[in-house]
Structure 1
Amino acid sequence: MTICPYCSCGCGLIIATGPDGHIINAEGDPDNINNRGALDPKSISVRQLSQSPLRLKKPLYRAPGSDHFVEVEWDWAIAEVAKRIKATRDATFERTATVGDKTVTVNRTQAIAFLGGAANNSEECYLATKLARALG
């Protein structure tokens, strides 16, 4: 059992896998209060997420000046993103701002943005919000 990844409704899925671990069937969970066993066309096609030949399995990186992407390891990609976020935050962090004739504490950066989407569930949105607030 799992939750459909396509929207934030949280529809329940019952996934059947074959001996090789690949998804062979997806059904609606009749005990899930959100969908009571029903599935929309996106949910029914959930196996395409994991089995599509077009699915990326490693991060891609394009070096400055390069015209193509190369596969990189997850550890390197995560460290690189973290390094760049920290450098941007450190370079643009504001402790105070002037509002009218007052100086107020703001503790923020306006150089980092977060983008969500309809496929994010409530928990993912909560964590993204917590991260954004922690960065300022």
Structure 2
Amino acid sequence: MARLTFLDWPVLRQLRGADPTGRGTAVTSSRTRGIAPRTAEADGMAESVCPYCAVGCSQRIFHKDGRVIQIEGNPHSPVSRGRLCPKGAASEQLVNSSLRQTTVRYRRPYGTEWEDLDLDTAMDMIADRFLQARRDHWEDEDEHGHPLRRTMGIASLGGATIDNEENYLIKKFFTAAGAIQMENQARI
């Protein structure tokens, strides 16, 4: 690295050059001028929505060689106008973390170890348990003969990352299944 002279001092560059306010080239080092943004080498960019809450902040996801290299706010979004909260700004770590689980993990009752299951097996287990709980706890009528047609063995607890459309479908599904206990973490 070249040794700086007195004339390279930022204040003198500011006063001598075309940047008297000191907000541009006068205060930019040669090292800073030589670097490029991470997104310049990206193969492409996709738009998505932040996965953390129901606000729906738009994200720009830059990728290279099939891997996410940068996630930033979308300046064209009327919701967030290019801004992300700290969790949304850290979405890249969620995607690329070496600790991220990418398989279905299951621990049998009274078991001490986790095991991997394929997705079809896990979905079948969930469906079987859902139907069995509905069957075991079905109430067709109360003690006075009034129709109930409900189950007390199934409940739904939604999260804030679920959007309105998904909440609508979940409500319809659980109502059709006879469940009456439906909550969302936003109300709790």
TM > 0.5 fold call: yes
Task: Name which of 132, 142, 149 aligns with 1:97.
Answer: 142
User: Partner of 1:133: helix, strand, or coil?
Assistant: helix
TM-score, normalized by length of structure 2? 0.65
Contact 1:6/1:120 (CA < 8 Å) preserved in 2? no
| Residue of structure 1 equivalent to 2:15 | none
User: Does 1:58 pair with 2:103?
Assistant: yes
| Residue of structure 2 equivalent to 1:13 | 59
Q: Which 4+ runs in 1 deviate beyond 6 A?
A: none
User: Does 1:125 pair with 2:167?
Assistant: yes
Contact 2:106/2:116 (CA < 8 Å) preserved in 1? yes
Gaps of 5+ in 2: 1-46, 179-188
Once the two structures are TM-superposed, the CA of residue 131 in structure 1 deviates from its matched residue by 2.1
In the alignment, the residues of structure 2 paired with residue 130 and residue 47 of structure 1 have an alpha-carbon distance, to the nearest angstrom, of 34
Gaps of 5+ in 1: none
TM-score, normalized by length of structure 1? 0.88
Once the two structures are TM-superposed, the CA of residue 41 in structure 1 deviates from its matched residue by 0.9
In the alignment, the residues of structure 1 paired with residue 168 and residue 131 of structure 2 have an alpha-carbon distance, to the nearest angstrom, of 21
Once the two structures are TM-superposed, the CA of residue 119 in structure 1 deviates from its matched residue by 2.3
In the alignment, the residues of structure 2 paired with residue 134 and residue 55 of structure 1 have an alpha-carbon distance, to the nearest angstrom, of 35
Aligned length: 132
In the alignment, the residues of structure 2 paired with residue 103 and residue 33 of structure 1 have an alpha-carbon distance, to the nearest angstrom, of 54
CA RMSD of aligned residues (A): 1.5
Once the two structures are TM-superposed, the CA of residue 78 in structure 1 deviates from its matched residue by 0.3
